[in-house]
Amino acid sequence: MQVNKSDIKRQAILETAYRLFRVQGFDKTSMDEITAQVGGSKSTVYSHFPSKEGLFVECMMAALENYMSGTLKYLDASRADPRAALLNFGSSVLKFICSPEQLEVRRLIIAEAARSGTGKLFFGKLSALRVKLSAFLAECMASGKLRHDDPDLAAEQLGAMLEAEMLEPLLLQVREGSPDEQEIALAAQRAVATFLRAYAPNSPQERQSRSGRAAKSSVRSAE
């Protein structure tokens, strides 16, 4: 298989820029320095990434996208019950976002969010990654495994629940040291249990009551 030189160059730019941004921050990292370390011309760098802001976003998201491609495999509504799938997914996500490297990346993202629309670019990237979780929840709702509701909102809420216990103390360096696997597993269990209680399927009595209310409302509207 023929190697695409353009893809190799793009990856080299990403890796170099990612390292420099993490060590020096956004302001102290220049496109000139990135070009010097990668080799070639600045026009080549700009042909792949039109702006430093865009390159920064791509760098910060690359590791997340690579990791999530493996994590999203747990979301298979056809062969897994929601609890097992979400526990595996949640534990994997927590292990990643609580790692020292990703905490450092998150701090950088927050610090640069107001710069030239960078925050909006990050949000768009994160929303695209959340589509798979939303689709999984929609399938579970359609099959009756979860209560019918807005799957996009449910995905947002699950993400917030997974982050609730650990992320803020780690980001603000209130807590020292990364959580171990047992702590991560327990936090994921608590988050998923809370989520599943909130989205538990309606009982037959509740469904019948809801259908009755809907029928009465339809009759009143017709009158």
Check pLDDT > 70 for residue 206: no
Region 96-105: what's the mean pLDDT?
A: 89
For the record, the structure tokens of 188 come out as 């994921």
In the chain, list all ranges with CATH 1.10.10.60. 1-50
pLDDT at 216: 54
CA 98 to chain CA centroid, Å, is 13
Tell me, which fold does domain 1-50 have in CATH?
Arc Repressor Mutant, subunit A (1.10.10)
DSSP 179-203: --HHHHHHHHHHHHHHHHHHTPPPP
Gap between the Cα atoms of 93 and 71, Å rounded = 7
Rg of the chain, C-alpha, whole Å? 22
In the chain, list all ranges with CATH 1.10.357.10. 56-202
Average pLDDT, the chain: 85
For residues 148-178, b (16+ Cβ closer than 10 Å) or e, as one string?
eeebbebbebbbebbbebbbeebbeeeeeee
Comparing 27-36, 102-111, 156-165, 213-222, the range with the smallest average pLDDT is: 213-222
Comparing 33-47, 90-104, 118-132, 203-217, the range with the smallest average pLDDT is: 203-217
pLDDT at 214: 44
148-161: pLDDT as tens digits = 999 999 999 999 99
pLDDT at 60: 83
Assess if CATH 3.30.930.10 describes domain 56-202.
Answer: no
52-94: pLDDT as tens digits = 888 988 888 887 777 777 788 888 766 678 999 999 999 999 9
118-157: pLDDT as tens digits = 788 778 877 877 898 999 999 999 999 999 999 999 999 9
Top-confidence range, 41-45, 148-152, 174-178, 201-205? 148-152
Q: What is the pTM of this model?
A: 0.78
